[in-house]
Amino acid sequence: MRIGLGYDAHRFAEGTKLVLGGVEIAYDKGLAAHSDGDVLIHALCDALLGAMALGDIGQHFPDTSSDYKGIDSRLLLRKVDKMMRQRGLKLVNADMTLVAQEPRLAIHIEAMRTNLAADLNTAKMNISVKATTTEKMGFCGRGEGIAAMATVLIE
């Protein structure tokens, strides 16, 4: 058994789509990033890569490469899943938390769980996604961006 922890944060940006857990969310701002800015998937990728002792998402999918400009983060997650399977490893479970004052995310969580379970070839019961606010404290609380944390167990 191996445990991994991931964290990601992005600031809001005008003129971009808000994508979290592979779900496009109607909101007046998206997240600034080289890829689609999906902080939930980025944190999950970092957790999985960390559990495999393979560094972080930036080492494998650098933001200096045009190959990843605007890329759907679900494709990155599938690549990380392939790395895991090539090493004879599989996900036991993932527990993730999104931190955002706005928008409200609870109605999108089941769709996120469905996407992530499909991308990781696992049962939905192995994927937990939660959302919280920071009671208007910090950059998330001031509505400047969104952060995500992920913890995984692989075997």
For 64-77, the pLDDT digits (tens) are 888 878 789 999 99
Domains and CATH numbers, the chain: 2-154 (3.30.1330.50)
| pLDDT higher than threshold 80 for residue 120 | yes
Global pTM?
Answer: 0.96
Q: At 24, which amino acid appears?
A: E
Counts of helices then strands in the chain (DSSP H, E):
5, 7
DSSP class of residue 122 equals: S
Q: Cα–Cα distance between 49 and 100 in angstroms, integer?
A: 24
Give residue-wise pLDDT tens across range 13-24: 999 999 999 999
User: What is the distance of C-alpha 12 from the center of its chain?
Assistant: 16
Q: Cα–Cα distance between 63 and 68 in angstroms, integer?
A: 7
Give residue-wise pLDDT tens across range 97-116: 999 999 999 999 999 999 99
